[in-house]
Structure 1
Amino acid sequence: MLDIHSQVPWRPRAGARTTGAKLALKPVYVWGIRIRLQVALRARDLALFDLALDSKLRGCDLVALKVSDLVSASGVRSRVMILQRKTGRPVQFEVTEQTRRSVAGWIERKGLGPGDWLFPSRKKQGAHLSTRQYARLVDRWITLIDLDPSAYGTHSMRRTKVSLLYKKTGNLRACQLLLGHTKLESTVRYLGVEVDDALELSEALEL
């Protein structure tokens, strides 16, 4: 049985700056949310959740995706390139099999066409889901597994995969590319990389 409380929630080291920072999700939390959305048959939320994790896009770019951005004649693409609004630079991301299934299921259920918004607004005809509503949905997902929504947010979705990648590999350049940052310094600040992190990586090397 999945136990989302088997791990103690992350706490910043003494003196660390956490103002405004939102925590990345641990894998056990990801699966806790995903399973609950699947059981509740919340097709839109599941597709949005999965795609947010894979794409690592800012909320403004995520909600503005169109079906044609992800879908070709052969189905949902395994790799997608999007032009970021904030930087004007393209960023590429992978779409995992799990996400391809949930996105395809949502498109079929909603009957969306290539020119439609992938996540249309339920309140304004012809508009896409707003970033504010996306933020509210993230709060709801977090509360599904009894976590504090004030500690998480839309940037939690953006940073989850790259945080795991950094912890596993220490490859900041890869994280920079995935986040679409123009400067490596931005990635360092975004991930909260500190001297202790660098020393731990160095200590793990054997020469």
Structure 2
Amino acid sequence: MENVNLPAIRDCRQPWNKGRVVGQKRPLLPNHVWAIRVRLELAERKRDLALFNLAIDSKLRGCDLVKLEVADVYAAGLVKERTSIIQSKTDKPVRFEISEGTRKSIAQWIADPLMIGSKFLWPGRFHERLHISTRQYARLVREWVRSIGLDPTSYGTHSMRRTKVVQIYRKTGNLRAVQLLLGHTKMDSTVRYLGVDLEDALSIAESVDL
């Protein structure tokens, strides 16, 4: 029997990323941050305001942010000005500041009746889930950016992580400071994360007059 070469049969399943914007998500701009804060304050969404503010200040990955405990940020009746946690990805500590506005929103959230007896800072709605999931956090981020007219496909949880460090880098050019704030073990990881390129380096160089 003669052998016949038949064309290969290809899987026609739709690509997982069809219609999605993939790649690095944009950081929020300062006016975006303030617009979202105002909307959350007016809506009296205490948890979301505290979560949004701490996401910006802490620069934590979503997996670490959702697992924060009350004791991580609160002691002796006050919200801490600085704190540290062990990162899930690297198993290394990272420190972060908690600004005055963020401390105020966290204190208001902790005082809410919904927080009575909760070990976690962002408790889950169901008994089997002790804290919100990273998927829930991602949905909240999409909701926040959509509320001020931004395209939710261009932003994500890493937008929250990148927002403050991008501003720090633009104002100081200090990559080492950004590396420490993000808890990166390698400088090239920080460079890739910020999207630093030759134009950035030249702009920094041009601002220094010797």
TM-score by length of 2: 0.87
2:68 to 60, 65, 68: 65
Equivalent in the alignment of 2:94? 91
Runs of 4+ in structure 1 off by over 2 angstroms are: 110-115, 123-126
Q: Report Cα offsets for 1:11-53 as digits up to 9, x if no partner.
A: xxxxxxx951111111000000000000000001000000000
The structure number with the bigger radius of gyration is 2
1:134 aligned onto 2:137:
yes
Partner residue of 2:82? 79
- Once residues 141 and 55 of structure 2 are traced to their aligned partners in structure 1, the CA distance between those partners, rounded to angstroms, is 10
3-state SS, counterpart of residue 53 of structure 2: helix
After superposition, the Cα gap between the structure-2 partners of 1:182 and 1:110, relative to the gap in structure 1 and judged at 3 Å, is farther
Q: Report the AA paired with residue 129 of structure 1.
A: I
Aligned to 1:46: 49
Match of 1:56 among 39, 59, 68: 59
Deviations 1:155-196 (A, max 9, x none): 000010000000000000000000000001000000000011
Q: Which residue in the other structure is 1:32 paired with?
A: 35
Secondary structure, aligned partner of 1:82:
strand
- Give the root-mean-square deviation of aligned CA atoms: 1.4
* In structure 2, C-alpha distance between the alignment counterparts of 1:172 and 1:54, rounded to whole Å: 18
Q: How does 1:152-171 map to 2 (within 5 A)?
A: 152-171=155-174
Query: 1:136–1:19: structure 2 CA closer, same or farther, 3 Å change rule?
Result: closer
Note the alpha carbon deviations across 1:114-147, whole angstroms, 9 max, x for none. 8611001113445100000000000000011000
TM-score normalised by structure 1 residue count: 0.88
**More displaced, 67-76 or 48-57?**
67-76
Aligned residues: 190
- 1:206 aligns with 209
Query: How far apart, in 1, do the equivalents of 2:134 and 2:201 lie?
Result: 35
**Structure 2: gaps (5+ residues):** 1-20
Identity value in percent: 57
